[in-house]
Structure 1
Amino acid sequence: MHRLRRFWEHFEEAFIAFLLAAMTLVTFVYVVLNNLYPLFYAIGDAWEGGSALFLGIGDFLMELAQEMVWSVALTKVLFGWLIFFGIAYGVRTAGHLGVDALVKLASRPAQRLLAVIACLCCMVYAGLFMVASFKWLMALIQAGIEAEDLDQFGIHLSHIAMIVPFGFALVLIRYLEIMWRILMRGQINLGLADEAAEASKLASHHEDQH
């Protein structure tokens, strides 16, 4: 079980890195192509002896840029997948900010009780969206609607939308894990990021250096 958990955690990090890298690479190539072909056209117009060569390269690069109209749509899809996959990752790594200044003033038993209530609310929220998005996904599968600009690759809207119920299912699982740790007294809160504490640590570290 521990090995499976470690494998999944490494997969999460690798998949998020892949999405970021793919978004960057696709956008970079598209921008480079759109900025290169005008340059070759300008060189071809200015240098009469090599105009045919440079104009030909410009035509080739422009055709590649025009064929990459799908890049914007793909980048949006990758970003959407990054968001819904990253929500659960943020829960695991305390990436979501917590507003719990008043909660920390309460006693530890009261903090644990409030954490259970908050965890239940998060689980209900994730569960409702998981069920609703799954029904939406089933409707998209039945409709068989193709994705705009990505239909040439056989991609349907249902292929893109499947990340929504999957992402909320991951969030639900993460909060189930947090609930278990709270009930087993492994922690007393949701494990959210404390921006004020982080700022205080950075300020103390900066003062120590000087």
Structure 2
Amino acid sequence: MSGHSSYRPGSAFGRAIHSIEETLIAFILGMMTLITFVNVVLRYLFNDALIWGLEVVLILFAWLVLLGISYGFKMTAHLGVDAVINLFDKPGKRNLALISAFCCIAYALLLLKGAWDYWAPFAALQPTEGRWFPMGFATGVRDRAFYVTDQVPMLGIFRWLEDAINYGDSYDKLPRVVPYFILPFSAALILLRVLQASWAVVTGRKDSLIVSHEAEDAVADAAQNRE
């Protein structure tokens, strides 16, 4: 079972979101490749480099990984070990899938809390109190809105952040609140995709949250294509 064959957007809105998600992932990957290629050419042919190139590629790589996690849940593309699961009959497999879904939801909730608590001070917002569960918002936490990236230049489209969170002071580099925004955003998206995948298991539209027997399916597909 391949992930791509198991997912079909059911509405025009779903197809639009799916298209945006795939386009964004492809764009990030393309930009990483382009910036790295330009830097190699500049370094070896002109003894120069984009001073911000490496940092931007690292940021884009983090975005790609975090967005890819939620995309993998949506496409049922995450690999998993099903040796133990296959020892059970169909009802047993379904029960184990439901337990797995519950664990994933709990983890996604903890991830969302942790991501918000880390990002919030960079946006001059308050993190939540409580170690495991949010017990309200903390007070008196010193914001980190003035923290900037090491080399990434400030972009004009984000100048509004200077008045919004930096008390009118100008940024000479891109504030960290921008690249770090991917943390709560991707965590929320992961939670959404896990809830959607879990509901598909509950309703019987999916048997598992992982892709199973990928190698056997690839061999079967190849054999079918030769016929």
Alignment-derived partner of residue 189 in structure 1: 208
Which of 140, 147, 153 is residue 122 of structure 2 equivalent to? Answer: 140
Give 1:88's aligned residue. 70
RMSD of aligned residue pairs (Cα, Å) = 2.1
Aligned length: 181
Q: Does 1:127 align with 2:109?
A: yes
2:41 maps to 1:32: yes
- Aligned match of 1:161: 180
Q: CA deviation at 1:167?
A: 1.1
| Alpha-carbon distance, 1:187 to partner | 2.1
Secondary structure at the aligned position of 1:148 is classed as strand
Find the residue that maps to 2:77 and give its secondary structure: coil
Q: Is the 8 A contact 2:70 2:189 kept in 1?
A: yes
AA aligned to 2:30 is: A
Structure exhibiting the larger radius of gyration computed from Cα positions: 1
Partner of 2:194: 175
Residues 79 and 210, structure 2, Cα contact 8 Å, conserved in 1:
no
**Partner of residue 16, structure 1:** 25
What's 2:127 paired with? Answer: none
Residue 40 of structure 1: aligned partner: none
RCO greater where, 1 or 2, for CA within 8 Å and sep 6 or more? 2
Give 1:191-206 correspondences, 5 Å limit: 191-198=210-217, 200-201=219-220, 204=223
| Aligned counterpart in structure 2 of residue 101 of structure 1, from 68, 83, 101 | 83
The letter for the 1-side match of 2:40 is V
Report if aligned partners of 1:91, 1:192 keep a CA contact under 8 Å in 2.
no
| One-letter identity of the residue aligned with 2:188 | A
After TM superposition, the score normalised by the length of structure 1 is 0.78
TM-score by length of 2: 0.73
Local SS of the residue matching 1:185: coil
CA distance in 1, matches of 2:55, 2:187: 23
Work out the CA distance in 1 between the residues paired with 2:101 and 2:15: 23
* Amino acid paired to 1:146: V
Q: For 2:213 and 2:182, locate their aligned partners in 1 and report how far apart those are by CA, in whole Å.
A: 28
How far off its partner does 1:107 sit? 1.3
Cross-structure match for 1:49: none
Aligned identity (percent) is 31
Gaps of at least 5 residues in structure 2 are: 1-9, 124-142, 156-172
Q: Distance in 2 between matches of 1:193 and 1:6?
A: 25
**Rounded Cα–Cα distance in structure 1 between residues aligned with 2:217 and 2:185:** 31
